[in-house]
Structure 1
């Protein structure tokens, strides 16, 4: 029996060996062609037809613009690439035995068919191609971090007129407007703003931000201090706005949106080369917006102008300038500071849903100027230098902000604060070196960077005492500017200069074509300058990041795990004995694991992960008003994203997030174990759309919803915003040169509130007409 078995093994081994030898000899007469194709604006070109003329060989490019032709007979061929709306390109390619020929090509826009590019050349809403998340070219399946990418094509379909309605397409994301006017975005139990723009710092705390220059929005999940630092990331993650870039070819797009509550919005997008050789490219995005509030008082007026320029100085050096001026004149939302016992949520209050307690002559006027400059230089074949400079000047001329204290469901105390003039200036200089190399059979993708940040500002503030107490069930007058100005006491607060010097490095090590590890580290030195009566401080933080990825099915399914770190700098604080306690940076540490799938020829993309974020050294305030550093908070949960394009014209976006964010340790024993404020347990989003392909061709429908669980306003869980579901729908008709769409928001006319307890917009309609030249 044993002898027979040995003979069988020998026979199988011999057959296997001979088969391998035969195959190796058989393949010696063949070569391979691999390539990458990009569009004229530098994006990956998906679905491009690639053929070798006068042969049987042909294929199409993947979502990332790559293609591969295997078992090609050694010969000289003419490679032809074609895509509707672009010029057909041909290039000679030589295929040698047992060798791979590498091709890189860029499509050129056909002026004759340029209008078709706008429709047929759209980027898939499944695409997660980005160089900003990891600050290096890393595919989604290779990246151990969870992130979502919201493409402008989805925003156009939804007729999104602000960033707030755009970001809720990412799983777990909720939003609200700060009393100061900036946009607050929450996920994984923590809040942030749109604090990154093309990977660089983008402060918008008081001046808000426009959607009209957005190419896409990237939501990075988890503490991201290692690559972005404390001024950009929160413990929940980072929101990065990617702006529209100039590209080869001429295109003009004019868009008008009108709607409920007096909305009138006009946007213009012009792209054109400035030289015949396409070495200098220019793009201008501009918009103007006016609208009234759904309340009986309130308004919002904005103006944006955002020119950008790309100069291809040499084959190796490309310079780009991205600028923006954004002016806002509007009214702020009302913030409830306290509620009498027995008032547990906004439905207990007896005020009419559409009634304002304050007049809209108590307005806010802000402006922001932003300049971003980039120089990209190809050092060698696999090495690149990127030098970046940014300057942000954020100014508040005035900002009247409204506050209430509810003493009963019918009685409220009203007061107002006036902020401004305020100025904040942020300067960033950054240098990144990216490279690829190998140590034996192990491949490396390396990033080494250095960043210097400097900020300064001025701050003026005034506040009124309680102006009056009213019964909201009886007739009352809104508070007016004249009454507020007469009661204001103005103060000027000194603002210390700050500077941060950072160095960081990240190495993605590919042990095999399926197994890789990411090792990252950042060192931050934070310095706050002395003021007359306030000592400055100098603090250093070290932030590591580790990740592991294994592709179970190559280019389709990957398992990943990560350890990520975020930090916040904290200044020294006084103690009861008169001493000064030097606080350490507050650290948040995340452990996460999950699976990513990109399958069915890139028609499905999904991510599922579980995470745990722990803050062991949170700063808390003792009952006698002093700060100590021994608090603890734990945020854990589940993230799920599903995006699919199963058939031509049909798109599905689905997100679900579960989060349990609790105060584990606090000086106030009564809140230990309570949920953190503004952290809903369950958040669901979905959007389905279909553009008819045959009957009713070019006509389309869309439908979606957002569900948000109960959210506590305070950590004592005394007041909460109830859970809600909001449903939206759209119908549209699209042609190559124009598009008409109608959007129905909150179609059930749901009355609901954000986590601050601020009433949100009831049912409304938007009508959009876009012309493309």
Structure 2
């Protein structure tokens, strides 16, 4: 589905450039491809325009053209192009925490930013309005704060913007597992002077799963945007996103251990677990909605000073079922599956953000330059998560456990669960009421004392003011906690605009609030958890920008982590004694090697381990956390398109992802492993002036492979998708 979508995406991407392509020479077409495939400059990594070669941070980016060439229409599938990133958990659509999760540099992360502002999406994220996906590596608290950035990195979605000519495309696609999709990208000026511009991207997808082809999961995205250029100095932007989902969650197996007689998923399949079985009946849907509104005022005060005022709201809602599973053994040592549910009932989480930035850019004398961003940020988070689940007696009502192979699984369905939830005696509740106000001020400066040398220094002050709330019926005390987050970096371009060496220090932190220290439930206010990274490497931008490569080594140390030694009911007993270290290397290459041929690829190694533990958790000392993903990761995508001659417009590509063993249970005594995998995808397309057709086949070797976030989640088998696009 991803691959064919690629052809659809490429359709969209080349559609946007249709007028250029039709009238330009091959050289101009190549320049477009080179800029979109190889160029990694960003307006967001330092909250100012900065070339990749002069940026001391490591940024991976995936362009819209790359997605189109691979027929990708979801952000989850776009991740396959990011070096050092591993998908761990598909979106569950639960309000608040329902988005997909990935591993970056040994830490859990997710897509939480849009255009540099907080905009988490808790459903599967449609890429219909995605211009570029940016992944800023390492702790990034100085400019982005503590509430949404992972220590491993930050994922930012850069959205499509209106432009000054009429144009667009519509696409239809269909393929394996009852998948069909319709999408449109339409842009038009609304006034004759081209000051008021409008663009709308929308898509509807219906699909089954490889385990349940009649699932009828539906996804709808509607993302209009308006730009008003009031003058050469003043611009207004307004964007809206809505993602509506009605879907059955992907399959998740919890509580896996060597007690099952095996210590890995490959052997568990051999023991009787059916990779292709969904283990559910009908109608276990979750209905979810995400609404994001983004407003921006850009004002050019003079040639050296610019102002950007941003207002952003993000809200998520969910209601419905959340099936999950565990595996056991019966008295005859035969494998069984137990089926459970943790759903949501009118669950909501909202964000409101106001951010003001001032950018200063001055040049002095011969080659000296100073660029500064200074700003403040207010973020209000309101969490009203409402989880429901069945007690033991309720779960037994639909024949738990059941044989792992050949049984009737239809009794685990929406009607049965709905009837059980209708009786309050069967329901367990886990409710969260939390309000957090975050106030921040920050400054970051890029000083160029001589041509080719950039010195970066930044600092953030952040205050987290949490009101008294409740979690699972227990009062959670209010707290007010502040912290500073500094950063520094150095870049020297040994060969101007072609080869640079860099080093950085980056910092981030997190307020964990109060924690229970003993079985009497006495509490203490935790110190801010802190992460400090030192990183160094080099970057290249060779052959007129055709080869962009980054090699880096990083070392991240985290202290003041909370460790859990046990539970009293649902309350964790913890200590503030955890420390861990994550270090590793990354090599990433984006290249346009010869006419029509482009390559995206990379390899990474990560070594994350606990370096300090309390007595209750000493069995984890020097071991890799079970949320860190696979140590070794590799990705590539090679694409070729004929740019001239009788075959002009014909293109094809092949790509793949490798991950080695992933220990989702990792203690001295107990280990459980998701086996290594190598997944291959292929696509082909023909792009003409007014239309485009394409086909893709994902996982064409039909690999059985598992991802997981302390869980085991089977991934899609071989699947194909075809696309037809009309351009105007």
Q: TM-score range by the shorter chain?
A: 0.7 to 0.9
Go from structure 1 to structure 2 and tell me whether the alpha carbon gap of 1:357 and 1:135 turns closer, same or farther (over 3 Å shift). same
Q: What SS does the aligned partner of 2:707 have?
A: coil
Write out per-residue CA displacement over residues 437-483 of structure 1, whole angstroms, 9 at most, x where no aligned residue.
Answer: 25666421000010000121323222112431111234222311232
Go from structure 1 to structure 2 and tell me whether the alpha carbon gap of 1:145 and 1:335 turns closer, same or farther (over 3 Å shift). same
Q: Does the alignment pair 1:550 with 2:492? A: yes
Q: What SS does the aligned partner of 2:241 have?
A: strand
Question: Partners in 2 of 1:661 and 1:770 — Cα distance?
Answer: 45
Question: Partners in 2 of 1:303 and 1:659 — Cα distance?
Answer: 37
- Number of positions where the alignment pairs a residue of Structure 1 with one of Structure 2: 667
Partner in structure 1 of residue 10 of structure 2:
none
Q: Does the alignment pair 1:318 with 2:235? A: yes
TM-score (norm 1): 0.83
Maintained 8 Å contact 1:443/1:510: yes
Question: Partners in 1 of 2:282 and 2:583 — Cα distance?
Answer: 42
After TM superposition, list the pairs within 5 Å mapping 1:331-730 onto structure 2: 331-340=248-257, 341=259, 342-347=261-266, 348-349=268-269, 350-407=272-329, 410-438=335-363, 442-464=368-390, 465=392, 466-467=395-396, 468-478=400-410, 479-488=412-421, 489-491=427-429, 493-531=431-469, 533-576=475-518, 579-622=522-565, 626-667=573-614, 668-677=617-626, 678-692=628-642, 693-694=644-645, 696-716=647-667, 718-730=671-683
Question: Partners in 2 of 1:406 and 1:571 — Cα distance?
Answer: 37
Go from structure 1 to structure 2 and tell me whether the alpha carbon gap of 1:452 and 1:473 turns closer, same or farther (over 3 Å shift). same
Q: 1:134 aligns with which of 29, 32, 46?
A: 46
Q: 2:201 aligns with which of 285, 295, 299?
A: 285
Maintained 8 Å contact 1:265/1:289: yes
Maintained 8 Å contact 2:501/2:537: yes
Q: What SS does the aligned partner of 2:66 have?
A: helix
Compute the displacement of 1:121 (Å). 4.9
Maintained 8 Å contact 2:251/2:714: no
Q: 1:747 aligns with which of 700, 714, 718?
A: 700
Go from structure 1 to structure 2 and tell me whether the alpha carbon gap of 1:409 and 1:309 turns closer, same or farther (over 3 Å shift). farther
Maintained 8 Å contact 2:453/2:491: yes
Write out per-residue CA displacement over residues 132-167 of structure 1, whole angstroms, 9 at most, x where no aligned residue.
Answer: 111101110110000111001010010012111111
Compute the displacement of 1:393 (Å). 1.7
Larger Rg: 1
Partner in structure 1 of residue 108 of structure 2:
191
Question: Partners in 1 of 2:635 and 2:453 — Cα distance?
Answer: 33
Question: Partners in 2 of 1:646 and 1:178 — Cα distance?
Answer: 36
Maintained 8 Å contact 1:389/1:429: yes
Write out per-residue CA displacement over residues 349-382 of structure 1, whole angstroms, 9 at most, x where no aligned residue.
Answer: 4122111112241111001111100000001111
Partner in structure 1 of residue 8 of structure 2:
none
Maintained 8 Å contact 1:85/1:117: no
Compute the displacement of 1:256 (Å). 1.5
Structure 1: runs of 5+ lacking an equivalent: 1-82, 87-108
Partner in structure 2 of residue 160 of structure 1:
72
Question: Partners in 1 of 2:508 and 2:288 — Cα distance?
Answer: 31
Write out per-residue CA displacement over residues 386-445 of structure 1, whole angstroms, 9 at most, x where no aligned residue.
Answer: 000001121112243323243466112222122121011110000000011256664210
Q: What SS does the aligned partner of 2:322 have?
A: strand
Partner in structure 2 of residue 177 of structure 1:
90
Cα RMSD, aligned residues only: 2.3
Partner in structure 2 of residue 13 of structure 1:
none
Go from structure 1 to structure 2 and tell me whether the alpha carbon gap of 1:509 and 1:284 turns closer, same or farther (over 3 Å shift). same
Q: Judge which range, 619-628 or 724-733, deviates more.
A: 619-628
Q: What SS does the aligned partner of 2:468 have?
A: coil
Partner in structure 1 of residue 4 of structure 2:
none
Go from structure 1 to structure 2 and tell me whether the alpha carbon gap of 1:578 and 1:258 turns closer, same or farther (over 3 Å shift). closer
Question: Partners in 1 of 2:24 and 2:196 — Cα distance?
Answer: 22
Question: Partners in 2 of 1:227 and 1:161 — Cα distance?
Answer: 29
Compute the displacement of 1:643 (Å). 1.4
Question: Partners in 2 of 1:335 and 1:759 — Cα distance?
Answer: 8
Question: Partners in 2 of 1:646 and 1:475 — Cα distance?
Answer: 54
Question: Partners in 1 of 2:358 and 2:576 — Cα distance?
Answer: 37
Q: What SS does the aligned partner of 1:141 have?
A: helix
Maintained 8 Å contact 2:325/2:337: no
TM-score (norm 2): 0.88
Which of 1 and 2 has higher RCO (CA within 8 Å, sep 6+)? 2
Question: Partners in 2 of 1:208 and 1:761 — Cα distance?
Answer: 15
Q: What SS does the aligned partner of 1:365 have?
A: strand
Q: What SS does the aligned partner of 1:690 have?
A: strand
Maintained 8 Å contact 1:345/1:720: yes
Compute the displacement of 1:579 (Å). 4.5
Q: Judge which range, 534-543 or 615-624, deviates more.
A: 615-624
Maintained 8 Å contact 2:74/2:124: no
Question: Partners in 2 of 1:680 and 1:606 — Cα distance?
Answer: 23
Compute the displacement of 1:733 (Å). 1.1
Q: 1:234 aligns with which of 145, 150, 171?
A: 150
Question: Partners in 2 of 1:300 and 1:541 — Cα distance?
Answer: 44
Compute the displacement of 1:729 (Å). 1.0
